[in-house]
C-alpha cells in the first residue's frame, strides 16, 4: 500500500490556517480601518448629537450598537469578499488538495478576520467611550461575549460568500444583510422607540442580542438577559456554520459508481 | 501497482448539451510519468479536476490505489500533490510562507517543514523571491510557485495542470529536469497535462491523447510511433521566395515563409536529399517522428 502523508492534528491545522488567513491583512487593513472604525465612529458621533438629550441609556445603546455595527460591517463584508475570492480565484482548490478539513478552514477564516478587526474595534471602544463620556466597567465575561458577537455575522458573511454567483452580488448582499440585521431590532435605537414587530424580531436577531450582551459586559449591569443573549448568539452561529459547511463544495462529495 | 484506474469517465456540465469528456478509461502505474496531450478545449483540465476530486463526474469511476477518491475525507490530499492552473491560488502568501505552510500542513514537523521550504526555494530557483507575495509575482513565477507548492513534503503522486505554461525556456528546462529527478530518485508518479507536445517529449513515458473530450489513444510514445506510416521528419529552410523543388509524390507542409516540413519513409530519404539543392538551403534538420507528430497523426485521423 502507498505511503500517505499524515494530516496535522486539529490544533496545528487550525493554527497554520489562522496564520495563513492572517496574511489577508495585506489587502484588508484599509477596509478594516475605514469600515470597521471610521464609519461606525462617525455614525456614533452623529447619533450621539441627536440622542444626547435622551439620557445615558440612549448613549449606551448607541455606543454598543456602533460596536456591533463595526463588527458586523467589517467582518461580514470582509469574510464574504474573501470567500468569494477564494471560490473564484482557485484559493479554495489549493486548500481542498491539502489534508485539511473544510470546517477547520472556515473556522480559521473567521478567527483570523476577528483578530484583524480587533485593533479597529478597540480604537472604537476607547475613542467612542471617551467622546460619549461613557465610563466602562468591563466584566470578565466580555472575553466570551466579544467573539460570540463576531461569530454569527462572520458565519453569515461566509454563507453569503459560498452562495453567491459573483463578487458584485456578494458585495451588495452583504451590505443589505448588515443593514437589515442592524435595523431589525434594538441595535442602534432603544427598544421603546421601535414598533412592536421590530422589538419581537429583535429578540432573535443576533445583532440585537450582541448589542445587549456587549452593553451588559462593558457598561453594566449584568442581568439574566445575558444567558439568553449568549444562547441565541451561540445557537445562531452553530446553525449558520453547519449550513456553510454543507454548502461549501470544495471537494466532490461523491463519485458515481 | 496501479495508482490511478479511470473507468468510463464522463462529465457533462449543468446546462451543457455536449459532454466535456466521455468514455475515458486509462490506468497510470506507480512510478510512471504520464502525460495527457490535447488542444485547447479538449477537456484536459476537466479530466484532471475529476482526478483530484475537485469536480464530480457524471458517470464512471476513478480509483486511487484501488479505492474511490472520497472513501475517506483526506484520502486523496494525503496521497496527491496537485498543481492547479489558476494563478491567484496563493494570493496573499509570500513564496516562503506558501512553501512552509504547504509542507507543514502535509504532516511535516515544524523544523522539517522549514528545511523543506529552504530546499524547495533552492530547487526551484526562487531564493530571490522568498519574501515576495504571490500577487506581486509574474505569471511564470506564480506558476513555478504553484509547482513548488505541489511538490512540498513530496506526495506519492503529483498531478500537474500545464506545469510549463508562461515559463521562459530556462525555467522550462528546470521544471523538466526537476520532475525527472523526483521521478527517478523518489519514485514519484507524475501525471500532467499540456498542449505542448514538443516540450512534453522531454519527460513523458506514457501518453494519452485527448481530443474533443475523448481519449483517442494511450501508450508509450515509442510504441505508438511504430504505427506511424512516415517515421522521419525533415525540416528544410530556404531564402525567402525560393520554394523548394522536391519529388512530386511528397506533400511538404509550409511552416513559415521560409521553412518547410516533410514526413518521409526511410526508402524516400535518398531521393529527397538528392533532389535538394544544398547550396540554396539555409537550414536542414532530419529527425525521427516526435510526440507532436504522433499527436497530429492521431488527431487528424479522428
Residues 52-91 of A with CB under 8 A from B: 85, 89-91
Chain-wide mean pLDDT for chain B?
A: 89
CB A256 within 8 A of CB B58: yes
| Cβ–Cβ below 8 Å for B149 and A94 | yes
**Residue B267: inside a domain, yes or no?**
yes
Q: Are residues B278 and B187 in the same domain?
A: no
By C-alpha distance, the chain A residue nearest B71 is A254
- Segment B121-148 shows an average pLDDT of 93
Highest mean pLDDT among A100-114, A138-152, B73-87, B115-129: B115-129
Q: Are residues B94 and B67 in the same domain?
A: yes
Q: Are residues B178 and B253 in the same domain?
A: no
Distances in Å between the Cα of B225 and the Cα atoms of A42, A98, B7, B98, B241 are 74, 38, 25, 41, 34
Q: What separation, in Å, do the N-terminal and C-terminal C-alpha atoms of chain B show?
A: 32
Q: How far apart are CA A95 and CA A106, in angstroms?
A: 11
| Cβ–Cβ below 8 Å for A253 and B70 | yes
Among residues of chain A, what percentage have pLDDT more than 90?
29
CB A171 within 8 A of CB A178: no
Give the residue numbers spanning the domain of B290.
232-301
**Residue A257: inside a domain, yes or no?**
no
| Cβ–Cβ below 8 Å for B88 and A90 | yes
- Structure-block grid coordinates of residue B64: 486511487
Is residue B241 predicted with pLDDT exceeding 80? no
Of A207-221, B19-33, B173-187, B273-287, the one with minimum mean pLDDT is B273-287
The pLDDT-based confidence of B114 (bands split at 50, 70, 90) is very high
| Cβ–Cβ below 8 Å for B107 and A5 | yes
The pLDDT-based confidence of A4 (bands split at 50, 70, 90) is low
Confidence at residue B81, expressed as pLDDT on a 0 to 100 scale: 94
Confidence at residue A210, expressed as pLDDT on a 0 to 100 scale: 93
Confidence at residue B191, expressed as pLDDT on a 0 to 100 scale: 97
Confidence at residue B66, expressed as pLDDT on a 0 to 100 scale: 95
Distances in Å between the Cα of B1 and the Cα atoms of A1, A33, B31, B72, B121 are 9, 56, 9, 21, 32
Q: Are residues B109 and B212 in the same domain?
A: yes
| Helix, coil or strand: residue B162 | coil
**Residue A198: inside a domain, yes or no?**
yes
Residues 79-98 of B with CB under 8 A from A: 79-82, 84-94, 97
Is residue A33 predicted with pLDDT exceeding 80? no
**Last residue of a domain, which of B221, B250, B278?**
B221
Q: How far apart are CA B111 and CA A6, in angstroms?
A: 16
**Residue B279: inside a domain, yes or no?**
yes
Q: How far is the alpha carbon of A103 from chain B, nearest alpha carbon, in Å? A: 12
**Residue A205: inside a domain, yes or no?**
yes
Is residue A5 predicted with pLDDT exceeding 70? no
Across the strands, what pairs with B237? B259, B283
Among residues of chain B, what percentage have pLDDT more than 90?
55
What does the DSSP assignment read for chain A? ----PPPPPHHHHHHHHHHHHHTTHHHHHHHHHIIIIIHHHHHHHHHHHHHGGG-HHHHHHHHHHHHHHHHIIIIIHHHHHHHHHHHHHSHHHHHHTSS--HHHHHHHHHHHHHHHHHHHHHHHHHHHHHHTTPPP---TTHHHHHHHHHHHHHHHHHHHHHH-SSHHHHHHHHHHHHHHHHHSSSSSS-GGGS-HHHHHHHHH-HHHHHHHHHHHHHTS---THHHHHHHHHHHHHHHHHHHHHHH--SS-S----
**Of residues B198 and A144, more confidently modeled:** A144
Residue B13, C-beta contacts closer than 8 angstroms, at least 6 positions apart: B20
Q: How far apart are CA B186 and CA B31, in angstroms?
A: 9
| Helix, coil or strand: residue B56 | coil
**Residue A155: inside a domain, yes or no?**
yes
CATH number at residue B244: 3.30.70
CB B95 within 8 A of CB B117: no
The pLDDT-based confidence of B253 (bands split at 50, 70, 90) is confident
**Residue A124: inside a domain, yes or no?**
yes
Of A72-76, A163-167, B129-133, the one with minimum mean pLDDT is A72-76
Of B52-61, B68-77, B185-194, B291-300, the one with minimum mean pLDDT is B291-300
The pLDDT-based confidence of A2 (bands split at 50, 70, 90) is very low
CB A5 within 8 A of CB B78: yes
Domain count, chain A: 1
Is residue B111 predicted with pLDDT exceeding 90? yes
**Residue A253: inside a domain, yes or no?**
no
Q: Are residues B140 and B43 in the same domain?
A: yes
Confidence at residue A3, expressed as pLDDT on a 0 to 100 scale: 61
| Helix, coil or strand: residue B229 | coil
Phi-psi group of A212: left, alpha or beta (phi > 0 → left; psi -120 to 50 → alpha; rest → beta): alpha
Residue A197, C-beta contacts closer than 8 angstroms, at least 6 positions apart: none
**Residue A1: inside a domain, yes or no?**
no
Q: Which among A4, A21, A245 is the top mutation candidate for probing chain B, defined by the most B β-carbons within 10 Å of its own β-carbon?
A: A4
Confidence at residue A256, expressed as pLDDT on a 0 to 100 scale: 35
**Residue A254: inside a domain, yes or no?**
no
Q: Are residues B39 and B122 in the same domain?
A: yes
Confidence at residue A257, expressed as pLDDT on a 0 to 100 scale: 30
Tens of pLDDT, residue by residue over B26-50, are 999 999 999 999 888 888 999 999 9
The interface pTM score, or ipTM, of the predicted complex is 0.81
Q: How far is the alpha carbon of A154 from chain B, nearest alpha carbon, in Å? A: 20
Q: Are residues B122 and B205 in the same domain?
A: yes
**Last residue of a domain, which of B196, B221, B246?**
B221
Confidence at residue B89, expressed as pLDDT on a 0 to 100 scale: 65
What single-letter DSSP state applies at residue B116? H
A34 CB within 8 Å of a chain B CB: no
By C-alpha distance, the chain B residue nearest A26 is B92
Give the residue numbers spanning the domain of A132.
10-247
CATH number at residue B173: 3.40.50.300
Please calculate the CA angle B277-B281-B286 and round it to the nearest 5 degrees: 95
Using the structure block, give the residue that is written with the C-alpha cell 451590505: A175
Beta-strand pair B232-238/B259-264 = antiparallel
| Cβ–Cβ below 8 Å for A1 and B81 | no
Q: Are residues B199 and B243 in the same domain?
A: no
- Segment A3-13 shows an average pLDDT of 81
The pLDDT-based confidence of A252 (bands split at 50, 70, 90) is low
The pLDDT-based confidence of B122 (bands split at 50, 70, 90) is very high
Confidence at residue B172, expressed as pLDDT on a 0 to 100 scale: 92
Is residue A248 predicted with pLDDT exceeding 90? no
Residue A171, C-beta contacts closer than 8 angstroms, at least 6 positions apart: A77, A80, A81
**Residue B227: inside a domain, yes or no?**
no
A15 CB within 8 Å of a chain B CB: no
Tens of pLDDT, residue by residue over A150-165, are 889 899 999 999 999 8
**Residue B226: inside a domain, yes or no?**
no
B53 CB within 8 Å of a chain A CB: yes
The pLDDT-based confidence of B265 (bands split at 50, 70, 90) is confident
Q: How far is the alpha carbon of A211 from chain B, nearest alpha carbon, in Å? A: 33
Of B79-83, B176-180, B223-227, B248-252, the one with minimum mean pLDDT is B248-252
The pLDDT-based confidence of A7 (bands split at 50, 70, 90) is confident
Q: Are residues B177 and B136 in the same domain?
A: yes
The pLDDT-based confidence of B51 (bands split at 50, 70, 90) is very high
Confidence at residue B244, expressed as pLDDT on a 0 to 100 scale: 67
Q: Which three-class secondary structure string do you get for B240-296?
A: CCCCCCCCCCCCCEECCCCEEEEEECHHHHHHHHHHCCHHHEEEEEEEECCHHHHHH
**Last residue of a domain, which of B165, B198, B221?**
B221
- Segment B51-78 shows an average pLDDT of 92
**Residue B61: inside a domain, yes or no?**
yes
| Cβ–Cβ below 8 Å for A19 and B101 | yes
Domain count, chain B: 2
Is residue A230 predicted with pLDDT exceeding 90? yes
* A106 closest CA partner among A97, A121, A95: A95
Q: Are residues B77 and B163 in the same domain?
A: yes
Beta-strand pair B2-11/B67-68 = unpaired
Amino acid at each position: 500500500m502507498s505511503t500517505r502523508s499524515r494530516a496535522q492534528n486539529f490544533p496545528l491545522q487550525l493554527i497554520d490556517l489562522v496564520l495563513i488567513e492572517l496574511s489577508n491583512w495585506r489587502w484588508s487593513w484599509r477596509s478594516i480601518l475605514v469600515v470597521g472604525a471610521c464609519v461606525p465612529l462617525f455614525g456614533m458621533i452623529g447619533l450621539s448629537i441627536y440622542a444626547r438629550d435622551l439620557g445615558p441609556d440612549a448613549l449606551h445603546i448607541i455606543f454598543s450598537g456602533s460596536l456591533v455595527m463595526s463588527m458586523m460591517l467589517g467582518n461580514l463584508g470582509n469574510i464574504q469578499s474573501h470567500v468569494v475570492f477564494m471560490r473564484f480565484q482557485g484559493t479554495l482548490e489549493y486548500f481542498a488538495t491539502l489534508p485539511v478539513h473544510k470546517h477547520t478552514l472556515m473556522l480559521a477564516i473567521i478567527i483570523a478576520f476577528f483578530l484583524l478587526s480587533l485593533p479597529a474595534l478597540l480604537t472604537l471602544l476607547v475613542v467612542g467611550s471617551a467622546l460619549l463620556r461613557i465610563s466602562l466597567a468591563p466584566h470578565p465575561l466580555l472575553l466570551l461575549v466579544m467573539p460570540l458577537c463576531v461569530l454569527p455575522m462572520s458565519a453569515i458573511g461566509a454563507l453569503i460568500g459560498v452562495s453567491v454567483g459573483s463578487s458584485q452580488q456578494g458585495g451588495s448582499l452583504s451590505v443589505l444583510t448588515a443593514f437589515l440585521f442592524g435595523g431589525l431590532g434594538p441595535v442602534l435605537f432603544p427598544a421603546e422607540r421601535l414598533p412592536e414587530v421590530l422589538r419581537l424580531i429583535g429578540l432573535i436577531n443576533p445583532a440585537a442580542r450582541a448589542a445587549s450582551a456587549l452593553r451588559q459586559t462593558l457598561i453594566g449591569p449584568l442581568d439574566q438577559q445575558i444567558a439568553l443573549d449568549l444562547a441565541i448568539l451561540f445557537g445562531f452561529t452553530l446553525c449558520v456554520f453547519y449550513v456553510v459547511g454543507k454548502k461549501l463544495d470544495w471537494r466532490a462529495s461523491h463519485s458515481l459508481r | 501497482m496501479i495508482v490511478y484506474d479511470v473507468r468510463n469517465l464522463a462529465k457533462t456540465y449543468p446546462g451543457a448539451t455536449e459532454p466535456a469528456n466521455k468514455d475515458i478509461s486509462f490506468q497510470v502505474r506507480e512510478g510512471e510519468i504520464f502525460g495527457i496531450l490535447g488542444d485547447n478545449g479538449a477537456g484536459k483540465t476537466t479530466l484532471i479536476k475529476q482526478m483530484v476530486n475537485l469536480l464530480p463526474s457524471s458517470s464512471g469511476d476513478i480509483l486511487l490505489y484501488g479505492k474511490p477518491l472520497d472513501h475517506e475525507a483526506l484520502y486523496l490530499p494525503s496521497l496527491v500533490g496537485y498543481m492547479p492552473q489558476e494563478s491567484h491560488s496563493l494570493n496573499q502568501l509570500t513564496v516562503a510562507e506558501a512553501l512552509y505552510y504547504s509542507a507543514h500542513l502535509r504532516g511535516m514537523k515544524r523544523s522539517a517543514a522549514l528545511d523543506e521550504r529552504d530546499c524547495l526555494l533552492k530547487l526551484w530557483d526562487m531564493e530571490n523571491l522568498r519574501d515576495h507575495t504571490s500577487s506581486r509575482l509574474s505569471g511564470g513565477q506564480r506558476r513555478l510557485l504553484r509547482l513548488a507548492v505541489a511538490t512540498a513534503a513530496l506526495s506519492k503522486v503529483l498531478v500537474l495542470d500545464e506545469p510549463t505554461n508562461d515559463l521562459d525556456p530556462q525555467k522550462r528546462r528546470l521544471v523538466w529536469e526537476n520532475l525527472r529527478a523526483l521521478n527517478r530518485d523518489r519514485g514519484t508518479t507524475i501525471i500532467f497535462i499540456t498542449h505542448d507536445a514538443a516540450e512534453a517529449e522531454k519527460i513523458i513515458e506514457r501518453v494519452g491523447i485527448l481530443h474533443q473530450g475523448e481519449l483517442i489513444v494511450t501508450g508509450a510514445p515509442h510504441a505508438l510511433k511504430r504505427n506511424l506510416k512516415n517515421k522521419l521528419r525533415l525540416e528544410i529552410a530556404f531564402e525567402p521566395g525560393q520554394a523548394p523543388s522536391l519529388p512530386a509524390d511528397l506533400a511538404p507542409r509550409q511552416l513559415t515563409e521560409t521553412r518547410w516540413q516533410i514526413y518521409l519513409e526511410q526508402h524516400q530519404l535518398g531521393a529527397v536529399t538528392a533532389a535538394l539543392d544544398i547550396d540554396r538551403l539555409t537550414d536542414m534538420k532530419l529527425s525521427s517522428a516526435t510526440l507532436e507528430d504522433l499527436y497530429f497523426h492521431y488527431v487528424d485521423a479522428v
